[in-house]
Amino acid sequence: MFNPFERRATEYLRDDEAFLAVVTPEPIRVHLARYGAEQSLYNQLVIVRGTPGSGKTTIARIFETNVVSTVLRHEEAHKPIYSVLNECGAIRNGRPVLLAARIPLESDYREIWELPYSEDTRNALLTTLIQSRTVLAWKRQLDRLGVSLNKVRLTEDFSSPGARSTAGGDTFEALAINAARIEEALLRVIGALVPPPQEELKSIDADYYRPFETLTHIEVDFDSEGIFHLQPLLICDDANTLHPLQLAFLQRWLIRRELKVGRWLLTRLDALRPEEAFAIAHQESSSSELPGVTISREVVSINLQSERRDQKSFFRRMAKDMANRYMRQMPMFATRKLDDFSSLLSDRPARLTPSKLDALRSRTQSEAKRLHVSGERYEAILRLIQDYDPNLPADEQLSLMLILLNRYAHRVDQKMLFGEEDPEPNRPLKVDSGLEEAARLYLLHSFGRAFFFGFNDLCDASSENAEQFLRLSAILVDSIATRLIRNQSATLSCEQQTSLLRERASEYMKSWSFPYYQQVRTLVELIGSRCVLESLRPTAWIGSGANAFGILQEEFDQITKSYPDLSNVLKYGMAYNAFSLVPNYDCQGKVWCLIELGGIPCLSYGLTLKRGGFIKSTITEFSDGLA
């Protein structure tokens, strides 16, 4: 059975209708719509950053002209996407506003850097190839819309006749012909076994080819629909594949105000220097200031992971919409009208078996005897638990009792505990949601009771990453499909969810193959094993448990200078969802930077998905852990 959850279906669907059937508009509404009113998405450089699988390419594809045209033709079928494109200013009065094309910056562009020419020449070749291919991509967009190039007119602008001439001419058709000629010449240079001498590159006109500086808008005659005024938009995807110096140059080049076309740059976090990646976690500009340029004013920076990091509801909405759309692509679910994924994930864990419950009860009674807790105090603690929630199952009550017995003993002077009957603790005992989470965590590690279950846990374990959500969901979907084939209930039990998710998480971590992945895995092991140890302490002193190490912020701020190798390990760990940074975390009168495990390691090690619990550490401990 084909399972679209096993891969990002949007990357393999070339048909626009099929693509629109599985995409959700929520990421665009959250990250881009706010800029729609002032049109800054199209008159400034927009840099979109995110981890692999966070949805950068999917967002870009939705803005391509052919996709927008499909949305307009079938407005009722794609009303949510129509609405969000309208909010972003890509549609106005029921008409498209953009002539948008996506250019993947793959190997050809990176290979330019290896040519034996001066850096200025290589940079000129890079921008020339980007501009020529963009013009050809705009032409393909018009071809897909069935527009003849003789019905496309360049609007009047203030560029000189000479600039228009070097770009290719006064018509869009002439621009396209010249772009094809230049692309062919460049490919001959890039693919040559022995690159030609630099003097022979003059025929390419790399220093003078500047169509972006002459194009502002174009007019397209759609016959019966009238004349449309479209603004050209370039979307550079996968910019992280460029050499770092190429990427820095390209960003400086795209910032320039004389460029009238819209320009977006899509890149991953691992393309940044460590200090830039850490700055994103601080919600700061990650770009160095350039002479005469104020980055915060000239660039719209959109970070798909760091923004709205404390608001889980956005990702849950997006994930639910995406999962339901994917399920509709699977006949096994569609024919049974099973189109609500969340309803197929049970959130009621089975209780411990009688034998395990007896073992837990015996352990609790033995602990009370070992700690010399009187029968009256035991009953008082039991009433405290029942007052917190009278509907708590017996296994959770007993697990809470174990924790509270140890907390009671810890808060009573030992001399009084052995000499006086039922002494009072120096601080009152209480039960809260954090302690309840700690009790459930204890049951997971001691008795294998379900801990990770329900749609919200699935979303929280996905680290706000669409691809990670789909890969975790895929194993659950396969199991549900198997149950349907066997004529069993489609609902997946909590025990099955916990087992399957932890299995998939372990497989996921074993498949890591990004730069520094072995060192990242070492740090994950250091944090994960220590957090398990501390989270399972008898007193549950961290409450719901820890999933992070905390380093004093002032110490962490020196990491890029004092520990460059560790900085790179942390950067790649962030870029691939192994870690996330929570800077400026105020706790106990000090300011910390939390290095927090991602959802996948939390599943694998059996740690809470709740945020905020951490263990104090130092940069030295991290560095020694890698030694």
Sequence spans of domains, the chain: 22-147+229-307, 354-447, 512-627
Q: What is the DSSP letter of 13?
A: -
- Read off the pLDDT band of 163 (50, 70, 90): low
Q: Kindly list the strands in the beta sheet with 615-616, ordered across the sheet, starting from the edge strand earlier in the chain.
A: 579-587, 590-597, 548-552, 615-616
- Rounded Cα distance, 543 and 213, in Å: 60
User: What is the identity of the amino acid at 278?
Assistant: F
- Percentage, residues of the chain above pLDDT 70: 90
- Read off the pLDDT band of 287 (50, 70, 90): very low
pLDDT at 286: 45
The angle at the Cα of 23, spanning 19 to 29, to the nearest 5 degrees, equals: 135
Q: Which residue did the predictor score with more confidence, 249 or 304?
A: 249
- Residue 190 pLDDT > 50: yes
pLDDT at 288: 46
Question: Could you tell me which of 603, 548, 546, 599 has the C-alpha nearest to residue 577?
Answer: 599
- Sign for the CA dihedral angle at 62, 66, 68, 72 comes to negative
pLDDT at 7: 64
- Rounded Cα distance, 190 and 112, in Å: 6
- Read off the pLDDT band of 307 (50, 70, 90): very low
**Taking the CA atoms of the chain, what radius of gyration do you get in angstroms?**
29
- Read off the pLDDT band of 626 (50, 70, 90): confident
DSSP assignments along 471-490, one per residue: HHHHHHHHHHHHHHHTT--S
pLDDT at 346: 95
Q: Which fold has domain 22-147+229-307?
A: Rossmann fold (3.40.50)
Q: Which phi and psi (to 5°) does residue 193 adopt?
A: -60, -40
Q: What is the mean pLDDT of residues 145-152?
A: 85
Q: What is the DSSP letter of 345?
A: B
Average pLDDT, the chain: 87
Best mean pLDDT range from 176-180, 223-227, 374-378, 594-598: 594-598
Element (H, E) at 267: strand 262-268
- Residue 108 pLDDT > 90: no
pLDDT at 18: 82
DSSP assignments along 45-92, one per residue: EEEEEE-TTSSHHHHHHHHSHHHHHHHHHTTTTTHHHHHHHHHTTSEE
CB 479 within 8 A of CB 5: no
Q: Are strands 590-597 and 98-104 parallel, antiparallel or unpaired?
A: unpaired
User: What is the identity of the amino acid at 453?
Assistant: F
pLDDT at 362: 96
pLDDT at 113: 93
Q: What is the DSSP letter of 491?
A: P
Q: Which phi and psi (to 5°) does residue 106 adopt?
A: -95, -155
Question: Could you tell me which of 31, 38, 21, 28 has the C-alpha nearest to residue 63?
Answer: 28
Q: What is the mean pLDDT of residues 150-158?
A: 74
- Residue 211 pLDDT > 90: no
Q: What is the mean pLDDT of residues 569-598?
A: 93
Structure tokens at 477: 């979907």
What are the start-end ranges of the H helices in 256-311?
274-281, 295-298
Task: Work out the number of other CB atoms within 10 angstroms of the CB of residue 32.
Answer: 24
- Rounded Cα distance, 558 and 190, in Å: 42
- Residue 311 pLDDT > 90: no
Please give the span between the terminal C-alpha atoms of the chain, in angstroms, as a whole number: 46
- Rounded Cα distance, 613 and 582, in Å: 12
Which residues make Cβ contacts (< 8 Å) with residue 386, sequence separation at least 6?
Answer: 392, 397
pLDDT tens digits, one per residue of 44-71: 899 999 888 888 999 999 999 999 999 9
Q: What is the mean pLDDT of residues 394-401?
A: 96
CB 603 within 8 A of CB 502: yes
- Residue 547 pLDDT > 50: yes
- Residue 134 pLDDT > 70: yes
Q: What is the mean pLDDT of residues 163-168?
A: 64
pLDDT at 285: 44
- Rounded Cα distance, 494 and 478, in Å: 16
pLDDT tens digits, one per residue of 412-437: 876 565 556 678 888 899 999 999 99
- Read off the pLDDT band of 174 (50, 70, 90): confident
Q: What is the mean pLDDT of residues 253-269?
A: 88
Which residues make Cβ contacts (< 8 Å) with residue 401, sequence separation at least 6?
Answer: 364, 378, 381, 382, 385
**Confidence (pTM):** 0.87
pLDDT at 157: 59
pLDDT at 12: 60
- Residue 207 pLDDT > 70: no
Task: Tell the burial category of 336 from Cβ atoms under 10 Å away from its Cβ (0-12, 13-18, 19+).
Answer: exposed
- Rounded Cα distance, 362 and 277, in Å: 51
pLDDT at 168: 64
CB 149 within 8 A of CB 141: no
Percentages of the chain per state (helix, strand, coil), in multiples of 5? 55, 10, 35
Is residue 376 helix, strand or coil? Answer: helix
pLDDT tens digits, one per residue of 219-260: 888 766 778 889 999 999 999 999 989 999 999 999 987 788
Q: Which phi and psi (to 5°) does residue 355 adopt?
A: -70, -40
Element (H, E) at 316: helix 312-327
pLDDT tens digits, one per residue of 8-56: 555 566 678 888 888 889 889 888 888 876 668 888 899 999 888 888 9
CB 90 within 8 A of CB 231: no
- Percentage, residues of the chain above pLDDT 90: 56
- Residue 278 pLDDT > 90: no
- Rounded Cα distance, 210 and 166, in Å: 7
